[in-house]
Structure 1
Amino acid sequence: MDYDDDDLDYSSHEEEEFDENKLNNDKYDLLHDTLPALKEKLKSYNDEIPEYDLKEALYYNYFEIEPTVEELKSKFKKKKITKAKENFTQPSPDDVVLNAQKQAFEGVANLKIAPPKQTKPFKKVDISKALLSPDYAKPRKSFVVIGHVDAGKSTLMGRLLYDFGIIDAKTVNKLVKEAEKAGKGSFALAWVMDQTEEERSHGVTVDICATDFETDTTKFTAIDAPGHKDFVPQMISGVSQADFALLVVDSISGEFEAGFALDGQTKEHTILAKNFGLEKICVAVNKMDKENWDEHRFDAIKSQMTEFLTSPEVDFDKSQIDFIPISGLTGNNVVKRDLSVDSFKWYVGPTLAEYIEGVEIDAGSRDSLASEPFFLSVHDVYKDKGELKVSGKVSSGVISSGETIVALPSGESLQVQSLKVSKKPVDFAISGELAQIAFKTSQISNESVDQIRIGDLITKPGSPVKTAHKLLVSLHLFNMDKPLLVGTPFVLFRNNTQVPARVSKIVEVVNGKKKKKVLHLVSRQTAIVEIALTNALPVTKFDDNKVLGRIVIRREGTTIGAGTVIDFSE
Structure 2
Amino acid sequence: MGLKKEANANVNPTHVAVDRKRHLNVVFIGHVDAGKSTAGGQILFLSGQVDDRTIQKYEKEAKDKSRESWYMAYIMDTNEEERAKGKTVEVGRAHFETETTRFTILDAPGHKSYIPNMISGASQADIGVLVISARKGEFETGYERGGQTREHVQLAKTLGVSKLLVVVNKMDDPTVVWSKERYDDIQSKMIPFLKSSQYNVKKDVQFLPISGLLGSNMKTRVEERVCAWWDGPCLFEALDAVEVPPRDPEGPLRMPIIDKFKDLGTVVMGKTESGSICEANPIPAVTEFVAQLQILELLDNAIFTAGYKAVLHIRAIVEECEIVELMQQIDLKKKKPMKKTPLFVKNGAIVLCRVQVNNLICIEKFSDFPQLGRFTLRSEGKTVAVGKVTTLPTVANNA
Q: TM-score range by the shorter chain?
A: 0.5 to 0.7
For residue 203 of structure 1, report the CA deviation from its aligned partner.
Answer: 1.1
Change over 3 Å in CA distance of 1:234–1:213 after alignment to 2:
same
Counterpart CA distance in 2 for 1:209 and 1:380 is: 17
How do 1:52-201 residues align onto structure 2 when only pairs under 5 Å count?
Answer: 127-130=12-15, 133=17, 135-201=18-84
Q: Using a 3 Å threshold, how does the CA distance of structure 1 residues 425 and 316 change in structure 2: closer, same or farther?
A: farther
Deviation at 1:402, TM superposition (A): 8.2
Is 2:168–2:208's contact at 8 Å kept on the other side of the alignment?
yes
Cα offset, 1:215, TM superposition = 2.6
Which runs of structure 2 are paired with 1:486-505 in the superposition (5 Å)?
none
Q: How is 1:390-429 mapped onto 2 (pairs within 5 angstroms)?
A: 390-401=268-279
For residues 148 and 94 of structure 2, what CA distance do their matches in structure 1 show? 23
Distance in 2 (CA, whole Å) between partners of 1:418 and 1:292 is 48
Q: How does 1:203-222 map to 2 (within 5 A)?
A: 203-222=86-105
Output the amino acid matched with 2:239.
I
Q: Do structure 1's residue 287 and structure 2's residue 170 form an aligned pair?
A: yes
Structure index of larger Rg: 1
Q: 1:333 aligns with which of 217, 221, 239?
A: 217
Q: Deviations along 1:263-308, whole A, 9 cap, x unmatched?
A: 1100000000011111111100000111111111111111111111
- Structure 1 equivalent of residue 187 of structure 2: 302
1:352-378, Cα deviation, whole Å (9 max, x unpaired): 011111211112233x1xx41342413
Does the alignment pair 1:363 with 2:246? yes
**8 A contact 1:244–1:279 mirrored in 2:** yes
SS in 2 for 1:127: coil
Partner Cα distance (2:172, 2:218) in 1 = 12
What's the CA shift string for 1:475-506, capped at 9, x where partnerless?
xxxxxxxxxxxxxxxxxxxxxxxxxxxxxxxx
The alignment status of 1:375 with 2:255, answered yes or no, reads yes
SS at the partner of 2:150? helix
Equivalent in the alignment of 2:112: 229
Q: Distance in 1 between matches of 2:89 and 2:68?
A: 19
- Deviation, 1:380, is 4.9
1:262 and 2:145 aligned: yes
Asked if the contact 1:377/1:394 (under 8 Å) is kept, the reply is: no
Q: Which amino acid aligns with 1:333?
A: N
Does structure 1 conserve the Cα–Cα contact (< 8 Å) formed by 2:157 and 2:199? yes
Paired AA for residue 142 in structure 1: N
Give runs of aligned pairs for residues 466-505 of structure 1, distance below 5 A: none
Secondary structure (helix, strand or coil) at the match of 2:141 reads: helix
Higher relative contact order (CA 8 A, sep 6+): 2
Name the amino acid aligned to 1:255.
E
Q: 1:127 & 1:393 partners in 2: Cα distance?
A: 16
Decide which structure has greater helix share: 1
Q: Distance in 2 between matches of 1:348 and 1:356?
A: 16
- Give yes or no for the alignment of 1:322 onto 2:206: yes
How many pairs does the alignment contain? 278
Whether the 8 Å contact between 1:376 and 1:396 is mirrored in structure 2 is: no
SS in 2 for 1:281: strand
Cα separation, partners in 2 of 1:161 and 1:293, compared to 1, 3 Å: same
**Matches of 2:74 and 2:209, distance apart in 1:** 23
For 1:341, the aligned partner's letter is: R
Structure 2 CA distance for aligned equivalents of residues 378 and 308 of structure 1: 28
Determine the C-alpha separation between the residues in 1 that align with 2:151 and 2:271.
Answer: 23
Residue 379 of structure 1: CA displacement?
A: 2.9
Could you list the per-position Cα deviations for residues 69-126 of structure 1 after superposition, in whole angstroms to 9, with x for gaps in the alignment? xxxxxxxxxxxxxxxxxxxxxxxxxxxxxxxxxxxxxxxxxxxxxxxxxxxxxxxxx9
Shift of 1:199: 1.3
Aligned amino acid, residue 157 of structure 2: K
Q: CA RMSD of the aligned region, Å?
A: 2.6
- Give the 3 Å change call, closer, same or farther, for CA 388–401 of structure 1 in structure 2: farther
What stretches of structure 2 of length at least 5 have no aligned partner?
1-10, 282-314, 318-358, 364-370, 372-399
CA distance in 2, matches of 1:234, 1:197: 17
Q: Deviations 1:537-558 (Å, cap 9, x if unpaired)?
A: xxxxxxxxxxxxxxxxxxxxxx
Q: CA deviation at 1:195?
A: 2.0
| Secondary structure in structure 2 of the residue aligned to 1:299 | helix
Displacement of 1:194: 1.0
Q: 1:374, 1:394 → 2: CA distance?
A: 6
What secondary structure does 2:165 align onto? strand
Task: Identify if the C-alpha distance between structure 1 residues 380 and 186 changes in structure 2 by more than 3 Å, giving closer, same or farther.
Answer: farther
Q: 1:299 to 1:340 in 2, by over 3 A?
A: closer
8 Å CA contact retained: 1:141, 1:220: yes
Question: How far apart in 1 are the matches of 2:316 and 2:76?
Answer: 27
Letter of the structure 1 residue corresponding to residue 225 of structure 2: V
2:185 alignment partner, SS class: helix
Q: Deviations over 1:37-73 (max 9, x none)?
A: xxxxxxxxxxxxxxxxxxxxxxxxxxxxxxxxxxxxx
How far is the alpha carbon of 1:196 from its aligned partner? 0.9
- Check the 8 A contact 1:208/1:226 in 2, yes or no: yes
**What percentage of aligned pairs have identical amino acids?**
39
After superposition, residues 30-49 of structure 1 pair within 5 angstroms as: none
Amino acid at match of 1:218: T
Residues 254, 378 of structure 1: alpha-carbon distance in 2 compared, 3 angstrom cutoff? closer
Deviation of 1:337 (Å):
2.7
Residue aligned with 1:149, SS = coil
Rounded Cα–Cα distance in structure 1 between residues aligned with 2:262 and 2:65 = 31
> Which residue identity lines up with residue 261 of structure 1 in the other structure?
E
